[in-house]
């Protein structure tokens, strides 16, 4: 499914469940990590995490789109569009959208490289996750030169 197909599906769902047209764009956004989708307040567009569609299928996609369409239509009408608003909760229940999307399995994070430095004068040791330029930094205790160990 591409962005055009997603927009067409979103327009169909909007007419079927809300009786109102969706006049903006829906697109997949690979950069989304912690959410299934989001409604953009400034542009009125909807972005969907493609990993949810690939992992859980069309039914989960439709559920996410219903959720985002609730935000969309309530915001356009100037009504309570936030998760905490009662209007949002009741509309979401009415159309059968999900309050939360299914959780994706956690991606293994890369192991951080640890860098060790030692002061050449007082022998104080420093542990850093980012590499330091030893020509620019000195020991915090005695102002001695540092060396990577």
Catalytic amino acids? 68
Of 116, 110, 108, 118, nearest to 139 by C-alpha is 118
d(C-alpha 53, C-alpha 147), whole Å: 50
The angle at the Cα of 113, spanning 108 to 116, to the nearest 5 degrees, equals 155
Q: Are 82 and 72 in contact (CB under 8 A)?
A: no
Name 91's Cβ contacts closer than 8 Å, sequence gap at least 6: 70, 73, 74
- Within 10 angstroms of residue 63's Cβ, the number of other Cβ atoms is 21
Using DSSP's 3-state secondary structure scheme, residue 68 falls into: helix
Of 57, 65, 82, 78, nearest to 15 by C-alpha is 65
């Amino acid at each position: 499914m591409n962005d055009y197909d997603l927009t067409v599906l979103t327009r169909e769902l909007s007419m079927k469940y809300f009786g109102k047209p969706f006049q903006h764009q829906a697109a997949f956004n690979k950069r989304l990590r912690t959410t299934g989708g989001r409604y953009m307040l400034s542009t009125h567009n909807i972005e969907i995490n493609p990993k949810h569609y690939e992992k859980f299928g069309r039914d989960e996609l439709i559920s996410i789109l219903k959720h985002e369409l609730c935000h969309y239509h309530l915001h356009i009408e100037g009504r309570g569009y936030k998760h905490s608003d009662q209007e949002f909760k009741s509309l979401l229940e009415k159309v059968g959208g999900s309050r939360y999307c299914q959780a994706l399995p956690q991606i293994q994070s890369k192991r951080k490289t640890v860098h060790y430095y030692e002061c050449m004068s007082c022998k104080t040791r420093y542990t850093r996750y980012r590499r330091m330029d030893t020509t620019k930094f000195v020991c915090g205790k005695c102002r001695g030169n540092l060396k990577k160990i």
